[in-house]
Amino acid sequence: PVGSTPAGCGSTATGPLGVLGVPGQVNLDYAATAPCARAAADAVAELLPWYGSVHRGAGALSRRSTLAYERARQDVGDFLGVRPDDHVVFTRNTTDALNLLARALPPGTRVVTFAAEHHANLLPWPTGTVRLPVPGSAGDAVRAVDAALRELRRGSGGGAPILVAVTGASNVTGECWPIAELARVAHAHGARIALDAAQLAPHAELDVTALTVDYLALSGHKLYAPFGIGVLAGRADWLDAAPPYLAGGGATLGVGAATHDVRWADGPGRHEAGTPNLLGAVALAAVCTALAEADRAAQYAHEQALLARLRSGLAALPDVAELRTFEADAPRVGIVSFVVAGRESAAVAADLAQHWQLGLRDGLFCAHPLARRLLAEAATRSGRRDLPPTALRASIGLGSTVAHVDRLLTALAATR
């Protein structure tokens, strides 16, 4: 399978989608930050000697760096299937990208989102945002958005712009949201849709044009690239009409002597003031290109097989309860959250790290409303009164193996 590595955690990984790691340490925390792919490390190593100022110098190093940066923008856009007139803006991460979009909304825009979102897709939106309750199925989600948009249209006399902001895959449950249907419903009501692709992009092919998504946000560090680089891609008009996200060099065409005398640039540069993250952009683009050239169906099948093994192994442990929003067999990416009845999740995570060299996350995963609700539901479903107040999350991706999954299941059986 694509990117699979020898047993252990892959510090010897080869091929562009091999991932770097430390022998003996098993990373089951890809949803927080995925390991770095060889393609990213190689792209950085190749560029380092040529490291020069982007968009700001005439020397050969600077020219090459500028070309590499703009080429990276093109490659990332191609990977995401953006429309020819979309902008691809480099940001720091998904949080930054969604905050940028929130600041670029035309005045009076109403936003519709779900309580199931990561905080990055809950908190940036303006006052008056409609936060729909966590739905029980993908169909419920589509119906809820349809009803909310109908209501908003009626209330505003049809005039105000509307943005539906939803995740592609939940960072708590891994469940995939019905993006194409939500986009269809949004557009039928004249609204736009923004996709938080932080968790979907690492696992499944994404095409903004085919999905008819208006905006997409993602993080490099979840997509096998380094920290500090992310993307907001999408419709140019709102972005070009908005005040620059950051004011400063690179975002202007000209500045006069008077304080108000500024002509802001159009295009992605309008929102990228300051010297950009060249290495991050180039590394992210290298991973995108490697993924675009890989057999993603095989990658998906490999991850789904591991996920099925993990979930059925968890289901067989009598004290373990999985957290889920949708039906048990709803499509999902390689993320599972669960609790061990009678054990504090932080203590279990510490035990797994110390005695089993397994790295997992515990907590509420920056999605407090969703995680709390699912913990309460898990208590009801299991009939147990001794479930802890926070959860554990295991997540997999390129480089994950059957041995990693089995190690977790063995450790959990022992830790009970």
Nearer Cβ to ligand PMP, position 39 or 218? 218
Q: Which of 401, 362, 407, 400 is nearest to 34 (CA)?
A: 400
Chain centroid to Cα 219, Å, comes to 6
| 336: β partners | 394
Q: What is the closest distance, in whole angstroms, from the C-beta atom of residue 363 to ligand PMP in the complex?
A: 11
Q: Which is the catalytic residue, given 36, 176, 288, 366?
A: 366
Nearer Cβ to ligand PMP, position 338 or 365? 365
Q: Which residue is nearest to ligand PMP (CB)?
A: 171
What phi-psi label fits residue 399: left (phi over 0), alpha (psi between -120 and 50 degrees) or beta? left
Q: What is the closest distance, in whole angstroms, from the C-beta atom of residue 159 to ligand PMP in the complex?
A: 30
Please give the biggest Cα pair distance in the chain: 72
As a whole number of angstroms, the distance between CA 281 and CA 285 comes to: 6
DSSP letter string, 322-373: E--SS-TTS-B-SEEEEEETTS-HHHHHHHHHHHH-EE-EEE-TT-HHHHHH
Q: Hey, what are 249's tokens?
A: 């060099």
Nearer Cβ to ligand PMP, position 8 or 117? 117
Binding site for ligand PMP (CB under 6 A): 31, 93-95, 118, 120-121, 167, 171, 196, 198-199, 219, 366
Stated as kind and residue range, the H or E segment containing 413 is helix 402-415
Nearer Cβ to ligand PMP, position 13 or 288? 288
Strand order through the sheet with 361-363: 320-322, 335-340, 391-395, 361-363
Q: Answer yes or no: are the C-beta atoms of 132 and 370 closer than 8 Å.
A: no
Cα-based angle 393, 394, 397 (whole degrees, multiple of 5): 135
Nearer Cβ to ligand PMP, position 20 or 333? 333
Nearer Cβ to ligand PMP, position 115 or 379? 115
Nearer Cβ to ligand PMP, position 21 or 220? 220
Q: What are the distances in angstroms from CA 394 to CA 8, 174, 212, 227?
A: 17, 10, 31, 21
Nearer Cβ to ligand PMP, position 199 or 289? 199
DSSP letter string, 212-233: T-SEEEEEGGGTTS-TT-EEEE
Q: Answer yes or no: are the C-beta atoms of 35 and 224 closer than 8 Å.
A: yes
Q: What are the distances in angstroms from CA 162 to CA 126, 142, 199, 231, 326?
A: 12, 16, 24, 22, 26
Q: What is the closest distance, in whole angstroms, from the C-beta atom of residue 259 to ligand PMP in the complex?
A: 33
Q: What is the closest distance, in whole angstroms, from the C-beta atom of residue 351 to ligand PMP in the complex?
A: 23
Q: Hey, what are 297's tokens?
A: 């169906």
As a whole number of angstroms, the distance between CA 407 and CA 353 comes to: 12
Verify whether residue 9 is a known catalytic residue. no
Q: What is the closest distance, in whole angstroms, from the C-beta atom of residue 395 to ligand PMP in the complex?
A: 10
Question: Roughly what angle, to the nearest 10 degrees, separates helices 38-47 and 278-293?
Answer: 140
Q: Hey, what are 319's tokens?
A: 């004290």
- Active-site residues, by number, are 366
